[in-house]
Amino acid sequence: MGATHLPATEFDGTGVDDQLEAEAEAVLGEPAAPMVQLLGPDGTLGEDSVFSEYANRLDAEKLRGFYADMAAIRRFDQEATALQRQGQLALWVPLTGQEAAQIGSGRASQPQDYIFPTYREHGVALTRNVDLAELLRQFRGVSNGGWNPKDTNFHLYTLVLAAQTLHAVGYAMGIQRDQQLAAASDPAGTEPPAAVIAYYGDGASSEGDVHESMVFASSYKAPVVFFCQNNHWAISVPSTVQTRIPLSNRAKGYGFPGIRVDGNDVIAVHAVTEWALDHARQGNGPVLIEAFTYRVGAHTTADDPTKYRKSAEEDAWRAKDPLARLEKYLRAKGLADDAFFAKVKADGDELAAYVRRTTHDLETPDIRSAFANTYVEPHPLVAEELAWFEQYSAGFEDAAGSEAAAGEAAN
Amino acid sequence: MTTMTIAKAINEGLRAALTNNPKSLLMGEDIGPLGGVYRVTDGLIAEFGPERVVDTPLAESGIIGTAIGLALRGYSPVCEIQFDGFVFPGFNQITTQLAKMHARSNGNLTVPVVIRIPYGGGIGSVEHHSESPEALFAHTAGLRIITPSNPHDAYWMIQQAVECQDPIIVFEPKRRYWLKGDVDIEAPGNAEDPFKAHVLREGTDATVVAYGPLVPVALAAANAAAEDGRSVEVIDLRSISPIDFDTVTQSVRKTGRLIVAHEAPTFGGIGGEIAARISERAFLSLEAPVIRVGGFHMPYPVAKVEEDYLPDIDRILEALDRALAY
């Protein structure tokens, strides 16, 4: 596999990365993993012996689409943060800085693929046509899910870190069995092959479930792509506490390819993810992608990054902004004009207005639905507790009714 | 009617499930060519192949977690956890993921995963091989828990578990794996509902509720009590979540006394839950407090002293004496 090895100076400005690079070389006895980058921060497109082929398939419309998606999700992110500040959401998990990692990988997936996100993948949700207002249900406290994963093949957010990586591998094992069953009944193979993407982060990479999921995936050659967004911070703890070498190097230990990609380069992320999904769909087993990116904002709206990192570091990463570099490229190549960028901005404002409007209207569920959804099949204890609850609630209604009646009588 | 052991009955039940449900599959450690450490899956890999009888990596969280993924794709996985004390690496997946998936998806997703766990002591084993952790799971909404005590129930309950659309744990009484009994493989008969308790012996002076490995002990205690002229009703609970409180309540209304016996420690155990419910439902019928017979509040002791830990006939009879003395 070819890859462009970036000069170490590329990521200067982040002390964390300098430390990581030095550590990795000391530990491994060789330079850290090469980083795939096609579109640099200056907006110029580079070459790669494997991945340029994928990049070259992107026409102007696709590239403009990437930009529009990234701008839309950034605008959405700002709106959701504002809604949290206004008390409309209990919490928000901002993604700003990670737009390229999410849009690039999400747009590489096909409808038959199935995606297991963690809880920050709003950009991926957008690429899977999840209604973004529904995404806010969880953060408004009116649902633990909010959308039906069967409609979009985009699973619910998972908050227990890395638990979903095992679900992804199991799902991929199911795809393998489906293919065997289909091969028996449909030798022509009319169903397009499918794969699974498991998202997780540098913090979750330390969870045991990631290890177990990679062992299972490797042993059974499951069609799954592990997509690790290394955004450098697990709340307040830097990625150097999770690993002494680039996370992509871990794949080698499990016996499958690991690719480190510039996570702020939407073209490269899209290319490596397409490559990895092809690899998985063709029955070659799993791939690990480490998207090297940065959480520019707070972990959540309850977090305060000034307590654990320097603003200079954030500024250094802002200089590698994924939207700015694609805008430079589109303008330099004459692929988009002022009118396009103005329309993107107007569309973003419209999306924000839609989200604001619908968030206010998100229905609070009746707790009876929680009784109904605890089990699939009838359950006597749930039925008994529901009956008690109905009786208890009815008591208040009677009391309210008689108070009202008493009030009327007094008048 | 065919006579077989509990282990063989589960084996036959799994064979029937794999035959009847093409989306069912077994997963676990050493369940393939070895047939499991208790040989419960003996011969199944030869019959159904390695895609449906899956020897997994040695990772319990991995087994449960991938089973959840398979269920989301439309499969019905049956996971074997090798021993009770080894379920805990998978505890997170069971309690935070499996139990909640249906609820948190607002009913859109179902995860019909079966988890088989050989449990309980009395086999002289090393630590972590003799525990009874059922209460830890019973406390988690979204899970169902059943435990057969005889081969006929074992044969039908494992199949009913596979067909159940909710996640379900089948606690298998490992020291009774070799207990023989009649199995009607044509029809479940009174085993039609796996969540219903069975009155195994009728009586008028007191009720003893037991489940899994202690059911034969409770029956033996009732026999011994009968020699002293005491008429003891014995109930096999069969299901730990949900619990068939109706059957227990009905019995206590008749006998006025209740003893609950299980191997698990009494503190925070299933016996406490039954005592509380029955106190609410049949307070005026009770002639004595509900008495629990169970393990002590200590880690399961070493094999050489486990007989002092495990409830036996005498411990149940002692509780019966106390109940009758009120």
Of B75, B96, B105, which is closest to A156 when you measure between CB atoms? B105
Phi (first) and psi of residue B87, to 5 degrees: -80, -20
Chain A CB contacts of B72 below 8 Å: 149, 155, 167, 170-171, 174
Q: Can you give the three-state secondary structure of chain A, one letter per residue?
A: CCCCCCCHHHHCCCHHHHHHHHHHHHHHCCCCCCEECCECCCCCECCCCCCHHHHHCCCHHHHHHHHHHHHHHHHHHHHHHHHHHCCCCCCCCCCCCCHHHHHHHHHHCCCCCEEECCCCCHHHHHHCCCCHHHHCHHHHCCCCCCCCHHHHCECCCCCCCCHHHHHHHHHHHHHHHHHHHHHHHCCCCCCCCCCEEEEEECCHHHCHHHHHHHHHHHHHCCCEEEEEEECCEECCEEHHHCCCCCHHHHHHHHCCCEEEEECCCHHHHHHHHHHHHHHHHCCCCCEEEEEECCCCCCCCCCCCHHHCCCHHHHHHHHCCCHHHHHHHHHHHCCCCCHHHHHHHHHHHHHHHHHHHHHHHHCCCCCHHHHHHHCCCCCCHHHHHHHHHHHHHHHHHHHHHHHHHHHHHHHC
Taking the mean position of all CA atoms in its chain, how far away is CA B61? 21
Give residue A64's Cα distance to chain centre: 21
Q: What is the pLDDT of residues B273-291, one digit of tens each?
A: 999 999 999 999 999 999 9
Neighbouring CB atoms inside 10 A of A7's CB total 8
pLDDT at A22: 75
DSSP bridge partners of A258: A288
The pair of structure tokens assigned to A280 is 């998985």
Mutate to test the interface with B, among A166, A185, A218, A221 (most CBs of B within 10 A): A166
Q: Which of residues 122-161 of B touch A (CB under 8 A)?
A: 141-142, 144
Each as own residue / partner, the long-range contacts of residues B308-313 (CB below 8 Å, 24 or more positions apart, any chain) are: B309/B121, B310/B121, B310/B122, B310/B263, B311/B214, B311/B217, B311/B261, B311/B262, B311/B263, B312/B217, B313/B217, B313/B220, B313/B221, B313/B224
Mutate which of B21, B63, B105 to disrupt the A interface (most A C-beta within 10 Å)? B105
Query: pLDDT of chain A along its 411 residues, tens only?
Result: 444 443 333 444 345 566 677 777 887 787 777 899 999 999 999 999 999 999 999 999 999 999 999 999 999 999 999 999 999 999 999 999 999 999 999 999 999 999 999 999 999 999 999 999 999 999 999 999 889 999 999 999 999 999 999 999 999 999 999 999 888 887 777 778 999 999 999 999 999 999 999 999 999 999 999 999 999 999 999 998 999 899 999 999 999 999 999 999 999 999 999 999 999 999 999 999 999 999 999 999 999 999 999 999 999 999 999 999 999 999 999 999 999 999 999 999 999 999 999 998 888 999 999 999 999 999 999 999 999 999 999 999 877 766 666 666 555
For the segment B128-146, the average pLDDT, to the nearest whole number, is 98
Give the pLDDT band (50/70/90) at residue B85: very high
Place of tokens 């599959």: B25
- As a residue count, chain A comes to 411
C-alpha pair distances (Å), A130 with each of A121, A182, A269, B69, B139: 11, 29, 21, 21, 34
Question: Which of A114, A156, A166 has its CB closest to that of B93?
Answer: A166
Closest Cα in chain B, distance from residue A293 (Å)? 28
Distance (Å, whole) CA B232 – CA B203: 4
Cβ–Cβ of A170/B59 closer than 8 Å? no
For B161-177, how does the pLDDT look when each residue is reduced to its tens digit (9 = 90+)?
Answer: 999 999 999 999 999 99
Mean pLDDT over residues B179-207, rounded? 98
Closest CA to A109 of A232, A239, A289: A289
Q: A280 vs chain B: nearest CA distance in angstroms?
A: 17
Catalytic residue among A308, A357, A360, A379: A308
Provide the shortest C-alpha distance from residue B270 to chain A (in Å).
15
Residue of A nearest to B143 (CA): A375
Residues from chain B contacting residue A163 (CB–CB below 8 Å):
65, 92-93, 96-97
Q: In this predicted model, what pLDDT tens digit does every residue of B30-64 receive, in sequence order?
A: 999 999 999 999 999 999 999 999 999 999 999 99
pLDDT greater than 60 at residue B66? yes
- Report CB contact under 8 Å: B103, A148: no
Mean pLDDT of B305-319: 98
Both tokens assigned to B141: 């909404």
Q: Give residue A25's pLDDT.
A: 80
* Residue pLDDT, tens place only, A169-195: 999 999 999 999 888 887 777 778 999
Across chain B, how many H-helices and E-strands are there? Answer: 12, 14
Q: pLDDT for A78-105, tens place per residue? A: 999 999 999 999 999 999 999 999 999 9
pTM of the full structure = 0.95
Q: Which chain A residue is nearest to residue B66, measuring alpha carbons?
A: A170
ipTM over 0.90: yes
